[in-house]
Amino acid sequence: MKPSGNTILITGGGSGIGRGLAVALHALGNQVIIAGRRQSVLDQTTAANPGMKSLVLDVEQPGNIRSFAADVAAAFPKLNVLINNAGIMRAEKLLSQPDDLADAEAMVATNLLGPIRLTAALLPLLQQQAGATIVNVSSGLAFVPLILTPTYCATKAAIHSYTQSLRYQLKSTAIEVLELIPPYVATDLMSGANDPRAMPLHEFIDKTMAILTTQPTPPEICVERVKGLRCAAGGGHYDAVFNGLNAAMADVH
């Protein structure tokens, strides 16, 4: 991915990792458009970063996505980077779930179906560009799950698989497909903002940007701190990492 001169859409761009990426990419001279559910949060981010744009989008609602994509194409015809970052993470007790499974279904709709639907809707526009990039944000928990939030981990594992297939199917096009694999980062997701065990957000963004803007960009963007999870199975350490992770995080809720 080239460092500057892009028109970039970031879902979930008003807070957390999405906001951190938006600010960093904006500072490099890119036109950044952030999307999210809450107008007030988007407004706070754009006010602090003059020239950044925002659009309201709830990726959990499929009826919004096609019309949103049409609005993006009309307003930003040079869009060449899509970062599928929006996500929600909720704790679940599988032995005592409510009958409606609202939390599980919301995570599937937001974390998995949202990126799939938005990517499909924007692919025609991305194909019109001389070069384009799709970045799907998964998680280290795609590779070693945190048992407190099983559906979240399952959606991120699915995003990893989907990204691999998308990359292969688009290999004959000018669209590169990248996967950003964060570790446990200090954000409001699952109340981790003040957890000393989490990687500070600014540190994660700095290290991620150093990888994201290298030429050529690697297909998987992994800071050093997530490699223990990403490589656990391949390194023959899965059981130890799984047990250690879930023992260490047993009090996160």
Alpha-carbon distance 45 to 50, whole Å?
9
CB 136 within 8 Å of CB 177: yes
Catalytic residues: 152
Q: Is 50 exposed, middle or buried (0-12, 13-18, 19+ CB in 10 A)?
A: exposed
Residues 6 or more apart in contact with residue 238 via CB below 8 angstroms: 144, 232
* Strands 81-84 vs 53-56: parallel, antiparallel or unpaired: unpaired
Alpha-carbon distance 15 to 137, whole Å?
14
